[in-house]
Amino acid sequence: MTKDSSRAPGRPRRLRAALVLSAVGLLAVAGAVVLPGSASAATTLGASAAEQGGRYFGTAVAVNKLNDSAYTTILNREFNQVTAENEMKIDALQPQQGQFNFGNGDRLVQHARSRGMQVRGHTLAWHSQQPGWMQNMSGTTLRNAMLNHVTQVATHYRGQIAWWDVVNEAFQDGSSGARRDSNLQRTGNDWIEAAFRAARQADPNAQLCYNDYNIDNWTDAKTQAVYRMVQDFKNRGVPIDCVGLQSHFTGGSNYPGNYRTTLSSFAALGVDVHITELDIRNAPSDAYRNVVNDCLAVSRCKGITVWGIRDSDSWRSNESPLLFDGNGNKKAAYNAVLTALNSGNPGGGDPTPAPTTPAPGGCTATITPGQVWGDRYNTSVTVSGASTWSVVVVITAPQRISATWSGNPTWDGSGNVMTMRSNGSGNTFGFTTMMNGNSSARPQIRSCTVG
Ligand code: 9MR
Let me know whether 148 and 280 are in one domain: yes
Which range in 6-20, 102-116, 357-371, 400-414 is most confidently predicted, on average pLDDT?
A: 102-116
Rounded mean pLDDT, 347-364: 65
Our count of domains for the chain comes to: 2
What does the alpha-carbon distance between residue 405 and residue 394 come to, in Å, rounded to a whole number?
17
Residue 34 lies in a domain: no
33 domain residue, yes or no = no
What's the pLDDT score for residue 439? Answer: 75
Mean per-residue pLDDT over the chain, rounded: 89
Q: List the catalytic residue out of 78, 87, 277, 319.
A: 277
Burial class, 362, CB count within 10 angstroms (exposed 0-12 / middle 13-18 / buried 19+): middle
Mean of pLDDT values over 203-212: 98
Q: Ligand 1, from 90, 165, 277: best to mutate by most atoms within 8 Å of Cβ?
A: 277
List pLDDT tens digits, range 237-287: 999 999 999 999 997 668 999 999 999 999 999 999 999 999 999 999 999
Q: Does the beta carbon of 246 lie inside 6 Å of ligand 1?
A: yes
If asked whether residues 337 and 403 sit together in one domain, one would say no
Q: What percent of the chain shows pLDDT beyond 90? A: 75
Residues 270 and 392 in one domain: no
Quick check: is 392 in a domain?
Answer: yes
Beta strands in 45-162 (DSSP E): 56-61, 81-84, 118-126
Which of 310, 343, 376 lies at the terminal end of a domain, its last residue?
Answer: 343
Neighbours of 174 (CB within 10 A): 11
Range with lowest mean pLDDT among 222-231, 288-297, 395-404, 442-451: 442-451
- 27 within a domain of the structure (yes/no): no
Residue 36 lies in a domain: no
pLDDT band at 36 (very low <50, low <70, confident <90, very high): very low
Task: Tell me, using a 6 A CB cutoff, whether residue 277 lines ligand 1.
Answer: yes
| Final residue before a domain boundary, out of 314, 343, 372 | 343
Among the listed ranges 10-14, 51-55, 200-204, 340-344, which one has the minimum average pLDDT value? Answer: 10-14
Q: State phi, psi for 440 to the nearest 5 degrees.
A: -105, -30
Probe ligand 1: pick from 63, 82, 86, 129, max atoms within 8 Å of CB?
A: 86
Q: Is position 51 annotated as part of the catalytic site?
A: no
Q: Residue 163 sits in which domain range?
A: 45-343
User: Are 201 and 66 within one domain?
Assistant: yes
Can you tell me which atom of ligand 1 is nearest the CA of 60? 1
At residue 373, φ and ψ (nearest 5 deg) are: -115, 180
Does a structural domain hold residue 28?
no
Indicate if the pLDDT at residue 8 is higher than 50. Answer: no
Which of 85, 89, 166, 281 maximizes ligand 1 atoms within 8 Å of its Cβ, making it the mutation to test the pocket?
85
Quick one: what percent of the chain has pLDDT higher than 70?
Answer: 88
Going from the Cα of 213 to the center of ligand 1, the distance in angstroms, rounded, reads 11
Provide the CATH number for the domain around residue 395.
2.60.40.290
Listed in sequence order, the residues at least 6 apart from 99 whose beta carbon sits closer than 8 Å to its beta carbon are none
Q: Are residues 376 and 323 in the same domain?
A: no
- pLDDT of 21 over the 50 cut: no
Q: Please report, to the nearest 10 degrees, the dihedral formed by the alpha carbons of residues 395, 396, 397, 399 taken in order.
A: -60
For residues 224-233, one letter each, b for 16 or more C-beta atoms within 10 angstroms of the residue's C-beta and e for the rest, the string is ebbbebbbeb
Q: Are residues 114 and 253 in the same domain?
A: yes
- Both 405 and 264 in one domain: the answer is no
Residue 1 lies in a domain: no
Nearest residue CA, atom 20 of ligand 1? 315
Query: Based on the domain organization, do 337 and 379 belong to the same domain?
Result: no
User: SS3 for 37?
Assistant: coil
Are residues 155 and 111 part of one domain? yes
CATH code, 308: 3.20.20.80
Q: Which helix (H) or strand (E) holds 33?
A: none
Q: How do residues 151-168 score in pLDDT, each as one tens digit?
A: 999 999 999 999 999 999
C-alpha of residue 280 to centroid of ligand 1, in Å: 15
User: Could you tell me if 407 and 330 lie in one domain?
Assistant: no
- 3-class state of residue 182 by DSSP: coil
Domain-embedded: residue 88: yes
What burial class does residue 47 get, using C-beta atoms within 10 Å of its C-beta: 0-12 exposed, 13-18 middle, 19+ buried?
Answer: middle
Least confident range from 92-101, 128-137, 331-340, 371-380: namely 371-380
Q: 3 pLDDT band (50/70/90 cuts)?
A: very low
* 187 DSSP 8-state letter: G
Whether 308 and 384 map to the same domain: the answer is: no
Establish whether residue 315 lines the binding site of ligand 1, counting it when its CB lies within 6 angstroms of any ligand atom: yes
Residue 245 to residue 278: CA distance in whole angstroms:
9
CB distance 335 to 342 below 8 Å: no
Same domain, 204 and 326: yes
Q: Is the pLDDT of residue 22 over 50?
A: no
Q: If residue 367 lies in a helix (H) or strand (E), which one and from where to where?
A: strand 364-372
